[in-house]
Chain A
Amino acid sequence: MLLEVSGLRAGYGNVPVLRGIDFAVKEREFVGILGHNGMGKSTLLNTLMGRIRATDGVVRFKGADVTRIGAHRRSTLGMGLVPQGREIFPNLSVMENLLIARATRRGDPNGVIEEALEDFPRLKRLLDRRGGALSGGEQQLLALARCLCADPKLILLDEPTEGIQPSIIEEIVDTLHAVKKRRELAIVLVEQNLDFIAALAERVLIIQRGVLTREIPPSALADADTVSEFVGFAH
């Protein structure tokens, strides 16, 4: 197993958000996690990355217990995060946003960045722009490319379709398929966009009030009635 999570609890101050999460991700697997706003999706990814401290439970990555180590060390081990809201460095250029992902890594960054730009060719003509001057869709592509530059084995992907125009969503689906295959990546995607998650995930977990309640096959997402029964979505 690449990632093993057991009994994971976390929250903000005294407010618990995750109330015992258990799941595992194999190498090269694409797991989707579906849930409403406020069910703990982003908290889960931020806790896995080490940006929120776990109050209980264990996170193992490549067999090693990473529950208590900082985000920067998890990144070095091969975990990558594309956060909600994208968190592009607004005052760095697009090129610098990519370079900074290589800043603590050995070797010449240019080859890695060129490879990432091949995956996201739309960024090539934007390299000198300030990150903050890009559109939401362009920032999302940049956030994905930046994550890839850090050369992760596991990508945690937080609602990449939020506020993005449909044409770019399709582009992201195609790119993620290609990139995942070629780079042999595992991906954990949290989303509420059913079509997006159905197009990418190999299995889908439902999160409700900080607990993973069940697993469904992606094909079940096509049936709106089933989904609303599981998730409580009104579609």
Chain B
Amino acid sequence: MDRTAIVLIEMLSSISTLVIIAIGLAIIFGMMRVINIAHGEFIMLGGYIGVIATQRWGVNFWISILVIAPLVVGLFGVLVERLVIRRLYGRMVDTLLATWGLSLAMIGGVTMIFGNTIEGVSAPFGGVRIGAFSVSGYRLFLILVAVALLLGVLAVLRYTKAGLIARGAMQNPRMAAALGIDPDRVYMATFGVGAALSGLAGGLLAPLTGVIPTMGAAFIAQAFITVIGGGAAIVTGTGLAATLFGSVAKLVEFVSTPVIGDAALLFVALFVLRLLPQGITGRFFRRAS
């Protein structure tokens, strides 16, 4: 009984990690079709800012990871969009190369400033006992955050004026412009929001993973696989793909090792994309957002 509960919590935890690292990319790649190879480094930057603000500037932990990290990375994203991405819309290969360069520059820059060592901040909440086992309270908190993130992004897209403008401008920027919407500004803001969510991901995960300049590489593949596996309905798709990939990876990990669990994730992703090349929501749940 306790063991079942633990397996379940571990699965939810694995799913929530995928959701948290993928949600920013779901907006930048899923919605805007910008291949941001620097997505992992946006997460890394968020992590660093969360840790540095807490450890060196003495800012409250929650304000550091929930406010400062997304805010700074969001502004950084706006800057990147204005200087680089804006000139490359619709040119996928060029975007890929440019953001790859950005990713290398960010790793180099952070290494230069903070050095190539792991920095960390301890996770709050401590452990929660479940029978003979103990689980991290912070992991339980992240499960709630992942749910809140999915519902929040879904609600903004579906029920707010900004969400309507973003969806319309992404579907047909020329028509949106003829209705009074400035697509240039919408792209800038949307990229900024995607970057901010990536920064938030970094801040949220920093207590679990610690931060190191090269940490982005650990997230980038899983984030892209989750968003691509999800398909056109970015929020529902990211949620469904994260659930499928996260559960399979964790279950396989339980009966074998974490490495085989990660391999199982990639294998399921291959299988899903072979059967559903448009992603899960390319075939099912097509009316979702």
Task: Give A contacts to B, CB under 8 Å.
Answer: 49-51, 70-72, 75-76, 80-81, 83, 87, 89-92, 96, 99-101, 103-105, 130, 146, 150
Which residues of B have CB within 8 Å of A87?
A: 172, 174-175
Given the interface contacts A99-B164, A100-B168, A103-B161, does A72 sit within 8 Å of B180 by beta carbon? yes
Collect the chain A residues with CB atoms within 8 Å of residue B287's CB: 130
Q: Which residue of A lies closest to B165 (CB)?
A: A103
Q: How far is the CB of A105 from chain B (nearest CB, A)?
A: 7
Task: Determine how close the nearest CB of chain A comes to the CB of B27; give it in whole angstroms.
Answer: 16
Quote the shortest CB–CB distance from A59 to chain B (angstroms). 15
Q: Does any Cβ of A come within 8 Å of B275's Cβ?
A: no
Q: Which of A90, A100, A130 contacts B165 (CB 8 A)?
A: A100
Scoring A70, A71, A75 by chain B CB atoms within 10 A of each residue's CB, the highest score goes to: A71
3 interchain residue pairs of minimum CB distance: A71-B177, A75-B180, A87-B175
**Are B181's CB and A92's CB within 8 A?**
no
Dominant SS at the B interface? helix
| Apart from A51-B174, A71-B178, A87-B174: 12 A-B pairs, beta carbons within 8 A | A71-B177, A72-B179, A81-B178, A87-B172, A89-B168, A91-B171, A96-B167, A100-B176, A103-B161, A103-B179, A104-B181, A146-B179
**B182 in the interface (beta carbon within 8 A):** yes
A70-B182, A72-B182, A87-B172 known; A92 and B177 CB under 8 Å? no
Q: B161 CB to closest chain A CB, in angstroms?
A: 5
Give the contacts of B182-198 with A (CB-CB under 8 A).
182-183
Given contacts A89-B171, A89-B172, A130-B287, contact A103 B178 (CB under 8 A): no
B176 contact set on A, CB distance < 8 A: 72, 100
B161 proximity list for chain A (CB < 8 A): 103
Q: Do A83 and B178 have beta carbons less than 8 Å apart?
A: yes
Min CB gap B9→A, angstroms: 36
**Is there contact, CB below 8 Å, between B180 and A103?**
yes
CB pair A80 B178 closer than 8 Å: yes
Residues of B close to A76: CB separation below 8 A: 180
> With A and B bound together, what is the CA distance between A57 and B188 in angstroms?
31
25 cross-chain CB contacts under 8 A? A49-B178, A50-B177, A51-B177, A72-B178, A72-B179, A75-B177, A75-B178, A75-B179, A76-B180, A83-B175, A89-B168, A89-B171, A92-B164, A96-B164, A96-B168, A100-B164, A100-B165, A100-B168, A100-B181, A103-B164, A103-B168, A104-B165, A104-B180, A104-B181, A150-B180
A42 to chain B minimum Cβ distance, whole angstroms, is 12
Measured between beta carbons, the chain B residues less than 8 angstroms from A100 are 164-165, 168, 176, 179, 181
Q: How far is the CA of A51 from the CA of B172 in the complex (A)?
A: 12
Which residue on chain A has the smallest CB distance to residue B183?
A72
Residues of B within 8 A of A130 (CB): 287
Nearest-neighbour CB distance to chain B for A95, whole angstroms, equals 10
CB distance from A86 to the nearest CB of B (A): 9
A92 and B167 within 8 A (CB): yes
Whether A92 pairs with B171 at a CB distance below 8 angstroms is yes
Contact A92 B179 (CB under 8 A): no
Q: Chain A residues near B172 (CB, 8 Å)?
A: 87, 89
B182: A residues at CB distance < 8 A: 70, 72
User: In the bound complex, what is the Cα–Cα distance between A155 and B71 (angstroms)?
Assistant: 42
